[in-house]
């Protein structure tokens, strides 16, 4: 079986909810994302527990601080056995390089990617924080900086994936949140695509939350998305 390209976002406030979902899923068929709320409440122990169940874990904490602090945080995340983690590209070149260099010294290291522009942000929001240009222009600029720093890829909206693929070829990874199967509500994500559309535009991994976690039968929901991907 091919490695799964689906990362399920465990956007829960408590560990038991995440563990209840993990018991309904097959670690050979998906990966799991642990974000800020769940990690803050449940801590590293939950990440280690999910990894022990066989799941590949994307630790989505978007580290953004001085280079030394971020490098040490990335090493701490690697100690948890995560498959992938991220920093925020707005932290700058030196910060991303420090994180990459710290992980490069490990015999087995997780993938390191960077967030470019949050999928909830449109041009007005960018202008309010002093970033000129469109979301796509900012994504492209930050993605180039991420590649220069030696990271493995970026988190980006699927709507920017085509433009990114024109300037950043594989194995540079594109990890796309804001994925909604056809017919589902966009929620708080503004720049959304279906799984088929995102893959067609060059995405490598798809981050999907509520369409699976909010489904009566999460494994059946995952299988429907798998079928959509296989038919694309």
Among residues 36, 60, 79, 217, which one is catalytic? 60
Tell me what the mean pLDDT of segment 180-188 comes to.
Answer: 64
Residue 45 structure tokens: 């122990």
β-strands 153-155, 173-176 pairing: parallel
Percent of the chain with pLDDT over 90: 84
Which residues neighbour 68 within 8 Å (Cβ) at sequence distance 6 or greater?
Answer: 98
Query: Does residue 60 have an active-site annotation?
Result: yes
Which one is predicted more confidently, 230 or 73? 73
- Asked if residue 164 belongs to a domain, the reply is yes
CB 221, CB 212: distance < 8 Å: yes
Residue 106 lies in a domain: yes
**CB neighbours of residue 184 within 10 Å:** 16
The reply, when asked if residue 55 is annotated as ligand binding, is: no
pLDDT at 2 over 80: no
Residues 26, 36, 52, 65: which is the catalytic one?
65
The verdict on whether residue 68 carries a ligand-binding annotation is: yes
**Structure confidence by residue, pLDDT tens digits, 121-139:** 889 999 999 999 998 999 9
User: Is 119 labelled a binding residue?
Assistant: yes
| pLDDT of 1 above 70 | no
**pTM of the shown model:** 0.93
Domain range enclosing 116: 6-230
Whether residue 46 lies inside any domain: the answer is: yes
Evaluate if residue 190 carries a pLDDT over 80: no
What's the pLDDT score for residue 184? 65
C-alpha span between 19 and 24 (Å, rounded) = 9
CA-CA distance, 65 to 168, in Å (whole number)? 26
* pLDDT value at residue 221: 96
pLDDT of residue 83: 98
What pLDDT score does 180 carry?
85
- 105 a known binding residue? no
Q: What is the domain-level CATH number for residue 60?
A: 3.20.20.70
Q: Has residue 1 been placed in a domain?
A: no
Contact (CB, 8 A) for 109 and 78: yes
Averaged pLDDT, 128-154 = 96
Residues 6+ apart with CB under 8 A from 36: 60, 61, 62
Prior bond of 102 cis (ω within 30°)? no
Q: Based on the structure, what is the number of domains in the chain?
A: 1
How confident is the model over 60-99, as pLDDT tens digits? 999 999 999 999 999 999 999 999 999 999 999 999 999 9
**pLDDT tens, residue by residue, 6-42:** 999 999 999 999 999 999 999 999 999 999 999 999 9
The catalytic position among 26, 36, 62, 204 is: 62
Is residue 129 situated within a structural domain? yes
The answer to whether the annotation marks 224 as part of a ligand binding site is: no
Count CB neighbours of 150 within 10 A: 14
Please state, in angstroms and rounded to a whole number, the distance separating the CA atoms of residues 140 and 174.
Answer: 12
61 is in an annotated binding site: yes
Per-residue pLDDT, 186: 52
List the one residue out of 125, 119, 111, 183 whose CA is nearest residue 156. 119
Query: Is 36 known as a binding-site position?
Result: no
What mean pLDDT comes out for the span 97-116? 97
* Mean pLDDT, rounded, of the chain: 93
């Amino acid at each position: 079986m091919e490695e799964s390209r689906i990362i399920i976002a465990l956007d829960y406030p408590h560990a038991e909810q995440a563990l209840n979902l993990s018991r309904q899923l097959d670690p050979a068929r998906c990966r799991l994302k642990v974000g800020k709320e769940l990690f803050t409440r449940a801590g590293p122990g939950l990440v280690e527990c999910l990894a022990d169940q066989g799941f590949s874990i994307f630790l989505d904490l978007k580290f953004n601080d001085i280079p030394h602090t971020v490098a040490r945080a990335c090493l701490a995340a690697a100690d948890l056995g995560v498959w992938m983690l991220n920093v925020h590209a707005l932290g700058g070149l030196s910060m991303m390089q420090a994180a990459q260099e710290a992980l490069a010294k490990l015999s087995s290291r997780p993938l390191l990617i960077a967030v470019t522009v949050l999928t909830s942000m449109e041009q007005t929001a960018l202008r309010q924080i002093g970033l000129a240009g469109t979301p796509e222009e900012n994504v492209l600029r930050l993605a180039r900086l991420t590649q220069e720093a030696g990271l493995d890829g970026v988190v980006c909206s699927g709507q920017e994936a085509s433009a990114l693929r024109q300037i950043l070829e594989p194995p540079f990874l594109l990890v796309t949140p804001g994925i909604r199967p056809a017919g589902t509500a966009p929620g708080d994500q503004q720049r959304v695509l279906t799984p088929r559309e995102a893959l067609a535009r060059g995405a490598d991994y798809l981050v999907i939350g509520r369409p699976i976690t909010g489904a009566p039968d999460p494994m059946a929901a995952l299988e429907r998305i798998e079928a959509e991907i296989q038919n694309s």
